[in-house]
Amino acid sequence: MMFRAFFLFAFLLSTTSHVSAIDFCVADLKAGETPAGYPCKAPTTVKVDDFVFSKYLPGKNNIFNFSFTRAIVDDFPALNGLHLSMARFDIEEGGIVPMHTHADATEVIVVSHGNLTAGFISSDNTPFVKTISEGNIFVIPKGLLHFVLNVGKGKASANVIFDSVRPSVQLFNLALFGNNLDSAIVEKTTFLDPAQVKKLKGRFKGSG
Ligand SMILES: *[C@@H]1O[C@H](CO)[C@@H](O)[C@H](O)[C@H]1NC(C)=O
Ligand SMILES: *[C@@H]1O[C@H](CO)[C@@H](O)[C@H](O)[C@H]1NC(C)=O
């Protein structure tokens, strides 16, 4: 009986430590990333703070009048291998999150405050647009152009969840007007007048 109890205890102990070793792979951020993510920290060095992100607060407004705070694997090592990250955006009255894509991630928008008009354009160029407020969740399928406008009174806030530990972001305005792409090419490919291209290059700090 004694022996059986000891055996059971030893078995539980071994399975417990085995299970905790595969419960998570907290990133060893100093080790450098591989295509499969970061290597795991030694389980004995993992702390509860690896699972808690403490800087999830509004940041500084950007040129589009919103602030964007990301909780991604590089600052939140517990996300390593979980195919998931989060961000909040806080957007001034009249502010916009301009047309952009995340080539590698689906996005879920959860409104926490205010009235936002959000939308995406499907790959057959159909717009899907809706004004959403607290209580609404909007899914933006992976890779599609999308945008958000604060159409309500005062500031609005939302949380966004991505199925990637660090989604890529490409903003349409910056891709076209925020770099040194030859203005003649921008004019030809967008059908905009030279004066409009010049104005937009000025606005988004592009050259060329
Ligand atoms: C940004 O928002 C502030 C506060 O609502 C407003 O005064 C300012 O005009 C806005 N700026 C732009 C560029 O929209
Ligand atoms: C959002 O829209 C609703 C319905 O039109 C309105 O009652 C509410 O005051 C609006 N809230 C804000 C923050 O604009």
Q: Can you give the three-state secondary structure of the chain, one letter per residue?
A: CHHHHHHHHHHHHHHHHHHHHHHCCCECHHHCCECCECCECCHHHCCHHHHCCCCCCCCCCCCCCEEEEEECCCCCHHHCCCCCEEEEEEECCCCEEEEEECCCCCEEEEEEECCEEEEEECCCCCEEEEEECCCCEEEECCCCEEEEEECCCCCEEEEEEECCCCCCCEEHHHHHHCCCCCHHHHHHHHCCCHHHHHHHHHHCCCCC
**pLDDT value, residue 75:** 95
110 shares its domain with 155: yes
CATH number of the domain at 77, please. Answer: 2.60.120.10
140 shares its domain with 195: no
Rg for the chain, CA atoms, rounded: 23
> What's the token pair of residue 138?
């909007």
pLDDT in tens, 36-52: 899 999 999 999 999 99
124 shares its domain with 137: yes
73 shares its domain with 130: yes
Atom nearest to 153 CA in ligand 2: 14
CA 92 to ligand 1 center in whole angstroms: 7
Q: Give me the mean pLDDT over the 147-175 stretch.
A: 97
Task: Give, for ligand 2, the residue of 91, 150, 151, 153 to mutate: max count of ligand atoms closer than 8 Å to Cβ.
Answer: 153
Q: Give me the mean pLDDT over the 54-75 stretch.
A: 95
78 shares its domain with 159: yes
- Kindly report the protein residue whose alpha carbon is nearest to atom 2 of ligand 1: 92
Among 32-36, 37-41, 82-86, the minimum mean pLDDT is found in 32-36
100 is in an annotated binding site: yes
74 shares its domain with 163: yes
**pLDDT value, residue 169:** 96
94 shares its domain with 157: yes
Rounded CA separation 190/185 (Å): 8
Q: Enumerate the β-bridge partners of residue 89.
A: 68, 158
159 shares its domain with 183: no
107 is in an annotated binding site: yes
Percentage above 90 pLDDT, the chain? 87
Structural domain span for residue 117: 63-167
202 shares its domain with 151: no
pTM: predicted TM-score of the whole model, two decimal places: 0.86
115 shares its domain with 183: no
pLDDT band for position 208 (50/70/90)? confident
Report whether residue 114 contacts ligand 2, using a CB cutoff of 6 Å: yes
Answer whether residue 48 is part of any domain.
no
**pLDDT value, residue 4:** 53
In this predicted structure, the answer to whether residue 168 has a pLDDT above a threshold of 70 is yes
Rounded CA separation 147/188 (Å): 25
Q: Give me the mean pLDDT over the 189-202 stretch.
A: 97
| 183 vs 5: which has the higher pLDDT | 183
105 shares its domain with 192: no
Answer whether residue 124 is part of any domain.
yes
CA 149 to ligand 1 center in whole angstroms: 13
110 shares its domain with 184: no
